[in-house]
Structure 1
């Protein structure tokens, strides 16, 4: 009886241990899956993976900033090349404060100023995902960040962080619905929308009083997404916002390109419908910010128009260089997809050029950028592609003058006729967009510092020589 009882007890204990182990495994799997959802909402894939050719999270993606190109790092759990040696505290410090394991500062191209708001629970899950849900890649990117002086002094970011970086996890606002609080967390923390959609000051810090009011991101302009009905998304319905976030397209409103196309492709299309609805609800609840230069919503501009009848037969079929004017360039390069009258394709995969924020905005930067760089996004396994006509074009590279003429034809006939594009505007877009003050003065910083140092040395030398002469003067007199 005693032996039998002992066997039963052992079997029972083993069963209990097995059940506990299984429960722990399920718990760990759920934690990793939650971390995967957090990483998706935070859009980690877009910046830490080279499109098409790169391994997930292996780094090497070029982030072109006004201060120089920053290359993302390997954040797989590789012990030799990634973050496999990071403790959870070190991981949290890097994500929330922008400080690596070795103590060096990250640049805010990694949006730690927004990620500072990640909750402790989500940070724990995120760490579990990157340590146990990501395949390690034991490769270091061939491309390494090398910004010019003085931006290469990473320790200077400590001062920038004091001024502009967040410090505390997100706290829900009392008296606001759970949906809007969730939207605020997704927009301002995980989605780091302010990184692109908020204008920046002379030190490249986000101007919080104009949060989400729009700003340049290289050659692209991230538009105003406050609730203002003219300058922002106040005239969009919640369903239109959700459709845009999920697919990158909202009929009669806008289509995603540039960095927004990457956000849709790598992040937003995978969020649950409830999260997309929460983002829409939050954006609709924000304080409206009006751009005084705008009197009508950008998507209200334009109507169908065609100049095909006036073009046909102008040149013989064998003529060269026959695409000289804006309307001829449009006919030759745009009309086959966007239709001669600008209405786009029936399914709007090639969108209408009227009732389109890219052509109706008083700032035609996105129209120029999309002609230069094209559109390439994949949603639900379907690719939306428009070739670019910049120097890298596999169709036909266009000159600055041609792109300006083409843009102005589109603006005059399908969009905001008050907007205008010059060849200089196109040249600026080719070189990365408007330069902030820091980038403008950068070439003069080192010579200025050297000049100041030389002046200080000369003053010190003069003082020392003068003092020595005064000390020796009585001796010489004797």
Structure 2
């Protein structure tokens, strides 16, 4: 997939062409106003990370949809949001565009699934939705290509049910600045809450897959990955990070001695956050540092676990009594992360101690990183780790027990030794992560509804017979 920087150049050329076509209808001043509005919409689309979902990686045209979003309830395909009248949103009015963004309702009245984070976008201002509309209508190339249709199992395929879900969980209101907070904090709250939709990933979900408002930014599962607690708690969250470190992480995806971005966060940085102005990133950092602290009982920060160890070199040459995880670490990990796990001086390969992935109180992200690797491009430079769980991308594919062995070796020598990984944990991650309650109940929902329907019919029949007797 083209990077946002390449897309930016392409879109600017498209903007010029669109404005040239519109020029006959207005004055030079009007054209300048249109150009400014389109450019504002382009910046907002990057901040909202629209390309990450609506552009299929490597092969897809910009915003033409088709990207498969694997959810616990089934695969949801992102729609075509180019100005194509046949397959995109080209015939949407501004009001219909706003309804899709804010209420999750398409032009035809069908409901969108909240994989499209309208529960966050509902906070967008009228001015910003108008700018986004101008950009997608006049700054994006129309692609007459239909996106695959989403087909979820019953009853999740009933889009009308989302009306009930929205009535229960959608807070359909615009962002209102907090008068007790600074302008910078309010700017950060708008960027993080409305545009970057941080809570959509970093807040846990309830049984009906809605955000748990009692634990905002307290961490949430994303299939095999886990979006960590980013509240202001000093141990469980990011309270012990400095604002400068948070800005660096959001811009580059790495902070030495703390964290490296992988999975969904790497995508957010690659396609969106790295392109935000420094003042916007600082506003997000300032906002996060003053959020309500959500504690999950950790006694020290995730990045404060582990230390360098000579165990890798000490075990070399032993004929017996060799840790199974050491064999894998020595053969597949030590060459890049170094024998004592300090990483490389240029930080291309991070340290495995003082690392939020190995110091967490759960191993989701460590397992997922081993299985699926790391692949993010920042400032034109790729940061890559092979996917050891994928036979198609790596010849020495590791089995579930092997991944568990090397994960436990890393945790016991360099990370949070209290965390243990089983082969079953790896198998679950490889399959897409632990299914939520709603997904596990799905096979029983149809039979249960059938039983309810039969009972209702019997009650109606019984009542009818009783009335005839009287």
Give the alignment's TM-score, normalised by structure 2: 0.91
Give the C-alpha shift of residue 449 in structure 1: 1.4
Give 1:20 deviation, angstroms.
6.8
Aligned to 2:93: 87
Q: Are the structure 2 counterparts of residues 441 and 19 from structure 1 closer, same or farther at C-alpha, using a change threshold of 3 Å?
A: closer
Change (3 A) 1:314 1:393: farther
Instruction: Mark the runs of 5 or more structure 2 residues left unpaired by the alignment.
Output: 1-22
Does residue 99 of structure 2 align to residue 98 of structure 1?
Answer: no
2:286 matched residue in structure 1: 281
Contact persistence 1:194–1:212 (CA under 8 A)? yes
Q: Does the CA contact (< 8 Å) of 1:49 and 1:56 recur in 2?
A: yes
Partner of 1:66: 72
In the TM superposition, what is the alpha-carbon distance from 1:458 to its structure 2 partner? 4.6
Q: CA shift at 1:433, angstroms?
A: 1.2
Q: Distance in 2 between matches of 1:88 and 1:19?
A: 20
Deviation by residue 1:196-217 (Cα, 9 ceiling, x = unmatched): 0001111111111210011111
Structure 1 position 314, deviation (Å): 4.7
Between 108-117 and 454-463, report the one with greater CA deviation: 454-463
1:296 partnered with 2:300: yes
**Do the aligned partners of 2:236 and 2:294 also contact (CA within 8 Å) in 1?**
yes
Pick from 145, 158, 167 the counterpart of residue 162 of structure 1.
167
Which residue of the other structure, out of 217, 229, 233, is the alignment partner of 1:224?
Answer: 229
Alignment partners' CA distance in 2, 1:19 and 1:81: 27
- In 1, are the aligned partners of 2:313 and 2:339 still within 8 Å (CA)? no
Q: Distance in 2 between matches of 1:458 and 1:23?
A: 72
Q: 2:118 aligns to what?
A: 112
Secondary structure, counterpart of 1:278 in structure 2? helix
1:415 matched residue in structure 2: 415
Partner in structure 2 of residue 177 of structure 1: 182
Partner-residue secondary structure (3-state), 1:79: coil
Give yes or no for contact 1:114–1:166 (8 Å, CA) kept in 2: no
How far residue 462 of structure 1 moved from its aligned partner, in angstroms, is 6.0
In structure 2, what is the equivalent of residue 360 of structure 1? 359
CA distance in 2, matches of 1:130, 1:381: 25
Are the equivalent residues in 2 in contact too, given 1:35–1:127 (CA < 8 A)?
yes
Separation in structure 2 between the aligned mates of residue 258 and residue 288 of structure 1, nearest angstrom: 25
> Which of 136, 145, 161 is equivalent to 2:142?
136
> Could you tell me how far 1:454 is from its partner in structure 2?
3.1
The match for 1:51 is 57
Residue equivalent to 1:385: 384
1:194 aligns with 2:199: yes
Q: Is the 8 A contact 1:326 1:402 kept in 2?
A: yes
Q: Name the counterpart of 1:253.
A: 258
Query: How far apart in 1 are the matches of 2:313 and 2:342?
Result: 17
Distance 1:458 1:19 in 2: 67
How many Å apart are 1:447 and its aligned residue?
A: 1.2
| Closer/same/farther in 2, CA of residues 325 and 438 from structure 1, 3 Å limit | same
Which residue does 2:267 correspond to in 1? 262
Match of 2:406 in 1: 406
Q: Distance in 2 between matches of 1:163 and 1:420?
A: 38
1:406 to partner: Cα distance: 0.8
Deviations 1:80-110 (A, max 9, x none): 1100010000000001110000000000000
Instruction: Measure, in 2, the Cα distance between the counterparts of 1:281 and 1:466.
Output: 69
| Alpha-carbon distance in 2 for matches of 1:337, 1:366 | 19
Gaps of 5+ in 1: 1-16, 316-322, 472-478
Shift of 1:423: 1.1
Structure 2 CA distance for aligned equivalents of residues 52 and 447 of structure 1: 42
How far apart, CA to CA, are the structure 1 residues paired with 2:331 and 2:49?
A: 37
Let me know the Cα RMSD of the aligned residues: 2.1
Question: 2:19 matched to which residue of 1?
Answer: none
CA distance in 1, matches of 2:25, 2:173: 39
CA distance in 1, matches of 2:463, 2:135: 63
Q: 1:238 to 1:452 in 2, by over 3 A?
A: same
2:444 paired with 1:450: no
CA distance in 1, matches of 2:284, 2:72: 29
Partner of residue 212, structure 2 = 207
Per the TM alignment, residue 467 of structure 1 is displaced from its structure 2 partner at its CA by: 7.7
Structure exhibiting the larger radius of gyration computed from Cα positions: 1
Contact 1:338 1:352 in 2 (8 A): yes
Verify the 8 A CA contact 1:337 1:350 in the aligned structure 2. Answer: yes
- TM alignment of 1:299-310, pairs within 5 A: 299-310=303-314
For 1:378 and 1:89, the matched residues in 2 are separated by: 36
| TM-aligned CA deviation for residue 134 of structure 1 | 0.5
Q: Residue in 1 aligned with 2:426?
A: 426
Cα distance in 2, alignment partners of residues 461 and 338 from structure 1: 72
Go from structure 1 to structure 2 and tell me whether the alpha carbon gap of 1:252 and 1:182 turns closer, same or farther (over 3 Å shift): same
Report the Cα distance in structure 2 between the residues aligned to 1:417 and 1:308, rounded to whole angstroms. 16
Rounded Cα–Cα distance in structure 2 between residues aligned with 1:20 and 1:103: 34
Count of aligned pairs between the two proteins: 447
